[in-house]
Amino acid sequence: MQDLELTEEQVMIRDMARDFARGEIAPHAQAWEKAGWIDDALVAKMGELGLLGMVVPEEWGGTYVDYVAYALAVEEISAGDGATGALMSIHNSVGCGPVLNFGTDEQKQTWLADLASGQAIGCFCLTEPQAGSEAHNLRTRAELRDGQWVINGAKQFVSNGKRAKLAIVFAVTDPDLGKKGISAFLVPTDTPGFNVDRSEHKMGIRASDTCAVTLSNCTVPEANLLGARGKGLAIALSNLEGGRIGIAAQALGIARAAFEAALAYARDRVQFDKPIIEHQSIANLLADMHTRLNATRLLILHAARLRSAGKPCLSEASQAKLFASEMAEKVCSSAIQIHGGYGYLEDYPVERYYRDARITQIYEGSSEIQRMVIARELKHYLV
Ligand SMILES: CC(C)(COP(=O)(O)OP(=O)(O)OC[C@H]1O[C@@H](n2cnc3c(N)ncnc32)[C@H](O)[C@@H]1OP(=O)(O)O)[C@@H](O)C(=O)NCCC(=O)NCCSC(=O)CCS(=O)O
């Protein structure tokens, strides 16, 4: 896709991320998947390059340019490895985002520079065994005792859970107030009582650590309340709005990697005396894949531009995530089809892309939730 609507700075960031992903991420993705862990040195390098502080302004130690630059960078890193794209997107959007948007100056001083440089990775502890799509149905409790918050409960599907130094934890502080009784907390993960119980064994993005966490009398100072008491759900949902742009970009990156692998294979693989790209059925598949990728990027950039401008983009972010994640499954499946039997083998990366892409229809709000959000926002649609 041509760069007509991108600034020089956006192109520069995208190209830097692309070179880095091609040189230092993609060659190791399969090994990291086997190890179930992204190399620590690579994560440190991402921090040095500014890739982990992309929503944080310079004054707080970050590299924020705008959400377009961020989305382009997530796409590139995810084209190198979907798991690394997940780490990057989740850390930026729902790790750094809540501190930046709702933290006091003191909380920002304490955390933002370390988060933005990657010295501290963030994780987002919202989901619970019984509270997935129904985000407000939390059982984790936080009680104020002698000037400290004592938190007890269980969290599920916490990406970056093992690696994180800071957890954004959502807990019920005022059970009688329903959705308005949920609050957010900054919990350093070395706080006694913050326990990572296990890393989950997943279908895809296996190098990304997805954890089950329990909080057992996990006690933090009163000052670790993030934002106003009772505003936890709004804090979670507003950061997920930005997060969904990141996950859409992740899906796009994975799908683009699958497309590029299929294109290269189709140019090389000869059947019936000619490269298979010269067979119309294969050429048509590639044409559809390319079109879907470019249409998706436009949706993502549109949502990213709105968010950069400080405009509401709840529906647009959900549209981008919905479309990108469903597109990614189709495109990755076509890439396997083009590879034939080889596409089903671990020797080629397309089977990993297919597995990695699947989660993007589920986390940070399933496709069903994105449709619900988009439909609800139609109340603003003027006819
Ligand atoms: C299904 C839901 C959309 C339902 O939401 P609710 O109806 O329960 O919420 P509301 O009453 O609409 O809003 C509550 C509160 O939040 C404010 N809000 C909502 N959206 C925004 C926004 N975009 N920006 C700012 N504020 C917002 C709203 O105004 C209300 O505030 P007040 O009370 O009026 O002050 C919702 O439950 C939902 O989205 N569910 C999906 C949850 C989800 O995505 N979970 C995934 C979590 S993380 C994960 O997947 C793991 C990977 S990772 O580690 O990231």
* Per-residue pLDDT at 258 exceeds 80: yes
The pLDDT assigned to 181 comes to 98
State whether the beta carbon of 316 lies less than 6 angstroms from ligand 1.
no
State whether the beta carbon of 266 lies less than 6 angstroms from ligand 1.
no
Local confidence band at 4 (pLDDT 50, 70, 90 cut-offs): low
Q: What percent of the chain has pLDDT over 90?
A: 99
The pLDDT assigned to 243 comes to 97
State whether the beta carbon of 314 lies less than 6 angstroms from ligand 1.
yes
Distance from the alpha carbon of residue 206 to the mean position of ligand 1, in angstroms: 27
State whether the beta carbon of 238 lies less than 6 angstroms from ligand 1.
yes
* Per-residue pLDDT at 2 exceeds 90: no
Residues in the chain: 383
DSSP-derived letter for residue 200 is P
Atom of ligand 1 nearest to the CA of 158: 54
Residue whose CA lies nearest to ligand 1 atom number 29: 234
* Per-residue pLDDT at 38 exceeds 90: yes
- Mean pLDDT, all residues of the chain: 97
- Residues annotated as catalytic are 364
Q: Minimal CA–CA distance to 317: which of 300, 330, 298, 333?
A: 300
The pLDDT assigned to 5 comes to 86
Q: Fill in the amino acid letter for 36.
A: G
* Per-residue pLDDT at 188 exceeds 80: yes
Local confidence band at 141 (pLDDT 50, 70, 90 cut-offs): very high
Distance from the alpha carbon of residue 112 to the mean position of ligand 1, in angstroms: 23
For 261-318, how does the pLDDT look when each residue is reduced to its tens digit (9 = 90+)?
A: 999 999 999 999 999 999 999 999 999 999 999 999 999 999 999 999 999 999 999 9
State whether the beta carbon of 126 lies less than 6 angstroms from ligand 1.
yes
The pLDDT assigned to 3 comes to 65
Local confidence band at 341 (pLDDT 50, 70, 90 cut-offs): very high
Question: Could you tell me the two tokens for 302?
Answer: 């549109």
Looking at 50-171, list the stretches that DSSP marks H as alpha helix, in order from N- to C-terminal side.
67-80, 82-90, 97-102, 105-117
Distance from the alpha carbon of residue 316 to the mean position of ligand 1, in angstroms: 15
Give CA–CA dist 218/337, Å, rounded: 50
Question: Could you tell me the two tokens for 196?
Answer: 């990572």
Q: In angstroms, how far is the first alpha carbon of the chain from the final one? A: 33
Q: Mean of the pLDDT values across residues 34-60?
A: 98
Q: Mean of the pLDDT values across residues 34-63?
A: 98
Distance from the alpha carbon of residue 236 to the mean position of ligand 1, in angstroms: 6
Atom of ligand 1 nearest to the CA of 363: 50
For 96-130, how does the pLDDT look when each residue is reduced to its tens digit (9 = 90+)?
A: 999 999 999 999 999 999 999 999 999 999 999 99
Residue whose CA lies nearest to ligand 1 atom number 20: 237
Number of H helices, E strands in the chain: 12, 10
Q: Is the dihedral of CA 75, 323, 319, 365 positive or negative?
A: negative
Distance from the alpha carbon of residue 360 to the mean position of ligand 1, in angstroms: 18
Atom of ligand 1 nearest to the CA of 365: 44
State whether the beta carbon of 50 lies less than 6 angstroms from ligand 1.
no
Question: Could you tell me the two tokens for 202?
Answer: 């997943």
Q: Fill in the amino acid letter for 341.
A: G
Distance from the alpha carbon of residue 330 to the mean position of ligand 1, in angstroms: 28
Helix (H, G, I), strand (E, B) or coil at 275: strand
Inter-residue contact 87 to 246 (CB < 8 Å): no
Q: Mean of the pLDDT values across residues 142-159?
A: 98
Residue whose CA lies nearest to ligand 1 atom number 54: 159
pTM above 0.90, yes or no: yes
Q: Residue 242: which region, alpha, beta or left (left: phi > 0; alpha: psi -120 to 50)?
A: alpha
Question: Could you tell me the two tokens for 4?
Answer: 């007509």
Helix or strand (DSSP H, E) at 125: strand 122-125
For 229-239, how does the pLDDT look when each residue is reduced to its tens digit (9 = 90+)?
A: 999 999 999 99
